[in-house]
Structure 1
């Protein structure tokens, strides 16, 4: 099983040989077994890659991520037809019933709010208790939008002087970068299970190729929030630094609980994706596994 994310921020030439990615830089070269890599982040425009390397990454199911001018992830290479029953899984996915999708969304939002409570407890026990109460109020499809009410309480407890919409706040830049890394890992896991990322359970935007990713990432967001709160808790207008990005890539090896098992994010998203396939086949939202930040 692939277990690592690789972040390259210096000029380099990447090629493929003998089952390994070869990284040539001015100060030497290193080789990394391709089978160990889940995500490859090419975080500078001064990187060249060979077609053979990209083809090998696609064949192995490695998500290759490229940034924009501000170093925010802008695009991703994912493999086609990686699952043995691709057509069967995809057809079952698009034919899911609305009640099933609503029950899945209920479970997702409930798990998200419980994880927000776990993170909020680092600073505000009262807010954490209120969030856990809100989690119990989530109905099928979240018709009362408990998710939004919880968000207002959560961000106020987690950060001082914070607005999620403030693009100039370094904390938001860190959050967005971490979410993008987790999003890429989840997209990789969904594709590996034969699921179509564009067809969501709750998110249904015509212009979003990753609606399903944006559904399933919700309970994982508090994991990134916790990392940012520990790394960059104070207001700042500083740009996202190389150190910030390297720390945030580390979210791939942060751990969560799924049932009785403690897993890295990379392992967890694969387990979540596989459970969604089983849930679709069974027609039961109860089969969809949810990550938890606290041990059961």
Structure 2
């Protein structure tokens, strides 16, 4: 199945389902259609968008998401299917009953993977990243020393320059990052539900108001991929969010990554990660978590091909 992100960025459009298609209309005139079976997520940014109940049902039946974003291009609501995996009841129970020691061990694995991805992105830009290898080795169960934050303080100035500040509410490069993270967060939320897990029960993130804590946990290793794309977009003159930059970020889910089991796409890597996490909950062991391998310079060179 093809995995596509459908971005709705034009005001006053109506979305509906008709004979297996998502149909986009304006003033009752069709302006586009996409096969429902090809859709991973529908991302809504514009004002005055309406949609039919039949469309939401059709998306849910296929495991696809509807993501509604705020003015900063970060998600404010997500519609997820209630039915996921055929063994959902057992998996939800094992997820809920997983003890804190296991959750801490799993979070350590996630943080180590994220730091190694950050190092890979910096190396691809010709930046010495030896300190990140040392930081990754220092991460303990649950990351009580907050090595993740220590790595971030080193990472952003090296990647974006000393003047850069990560701010979810800011424009410019920050809006690029917000949008890219939204795409990958949606992908991980979908993978979590498909694996029979509940996205609100995280292994680290535990804010009561966060319905997607687990997706936020699992997206962490993939974030540097968005960072690398943002750098490439700025080099190409896309310093603000544009249709071209949105298309580039949407293409990330189909990007090829080399791994221990051969080359796969970001979508498949996300699916494998969520499925392996469910197995970890059932076995009580963190060693089976299939985290994505850090990208090679060749993998990251493929980002340029996504920019039009």
Which SS does the other structure have where 2:138 is aligned?
Answer: coil
Alpha-carbon separation, structure 2, partners of 1:250 and 1:234: 16
The 10-residue stretch of structure 1 (14-23 or 271-280) with the greater mean CA deviation from structure 2? 14-23
Which SS does the other structure have where 2:188 is aligned?
Answer: helix
Give me the TM-score of the superposition, normalised by structure 1.
Answer: 0.90
How many Å apart are 1:286 and its aligned residue?
Answer: 0.9
Alignment map for 1:1-296 (pairs within 5 Å) = 1-10=1-10, 11-25=12-26, 29-126=31-128, 128-160=129-161, 161-165=163-167, 167-232=169-234, 240-294=241-295
1:124/1:157 contact within 8 Å kept: no
Kindly report the root-mean-square deviation, in angstroms, between the aligned alpha carbons of the 2 structures. 2.5
1:14/1:21 contact within 8 Å kept: yes
Deviations 1:175-217 (A, max 9, x none): 1221122111111111111111111111222221111111111
Give me the TM-score of the superposition, normalised by structure 2.
Answer: 0.86
Deviations 1:231-252 (A, max 9, x none): 126999x764444333333322
Alpha-carbon separation, structure 2, partners of 1:18 and 1:199: 36
Which SS does the other structure have where 2:98 is aligned?
Answer: coil
The 10-residue stretch of structure 1 (47-56 or 190-199) with the greater mean CA deviation from structure 2? 47-56
Alpha-carbon separation, structure 1, partners of 2:181 and 2:60: 22
Distance change (3 Å), C-alpha of 1:166 and 1:75: closer
1:162/1:235 contact within 8 Å kept: no
How many Å apart are 1:58 and its aligned residue?
Answer: 1.0
Alpha-carbon separation, structure 2, partners of 1:207 and 1:41: 21
How many Å apart are 1:155 and its aligned residue?
Answer: 0.9
Alpha-carbon separation, structure 1, partners of 2:268 and 2:177: 21
Alpha-carbon separation, structure 1, partners of 2:43 and 2:170: 24
Which SS does the other structure have where 2:287 is aligned?
Answer: helix
Aligned residues: 294
